[in-house]
Amino acid sequence: MQKKTTVDEYFAFPESNRPMELVYGYVHEPAMPTFGHEAILLRLAELLRGHVREHNLGEVCRADVVLDRDLALVVQPDLFFISTERLGIVSDRVWGAPDLVIEILSPGTEHRDRTLKLAWYRRYGVKEYWIVVPRDRRVEIVAGSTEATQSFTGDDAIRSSVLPNLALTAKACFE
């Protein structure tokens, strides 16, 4: 049986390029992402960072996000955005919920991303959650605390409440 780990112990682990999360004190190591997953991730990062920087809106990144220090819940979203007004939650790590979180589905993570992670993001105050579905070339946006989900494919313009002036089609996320 795995020993429980604190947030401080988790952050004392050697740096690694393997994905890891701390789930209520237990280290979770999902499978390494595929080439296609990473290509979509870099494409989205380019598009969002360009928009965010051009309008001085905050930061787009990927890193450890401490959702709950006391309960030892640390996640590594594929990508996230934190608005300029909330950059105070960033120091050596992100200590609180980003404004927007993006997860790119993989066969091995889809159930977890749609259930467990969605529940955590809602509970801790993420305003908007993008679920990117490569097999359907679709982007789904879940508004924070509601059950409302919007779905975008092809030339549909993605409508984000967190980044309202973003000019991005679903198709552009996969090119």
What residue ranges do the domains of the chain occupy? Answer: 7-174
Q: What is the pLDDT of residue 147?
A: 73
If you classify domain 7-174 with CATH, what class do you get? alpha beta
Closest by Cα among 95, 81, 79, 94 to 41:
79
The per-residue pLDDT for range 131-147, each reduced to its tens digit, is 999 999 999 999 877 77
The predicted model scores a pTM of 0.94
Ranges of residues in the chain whose predicted pLDDT is under 70 = 1
Q: What is the pLDDT of residue 1?
A: 61
Q: What is the pLDDT of residue 60?
A: 97
Residue 85's contacts (CB-CB under 8 Å, 6 or more residues apart) are 58
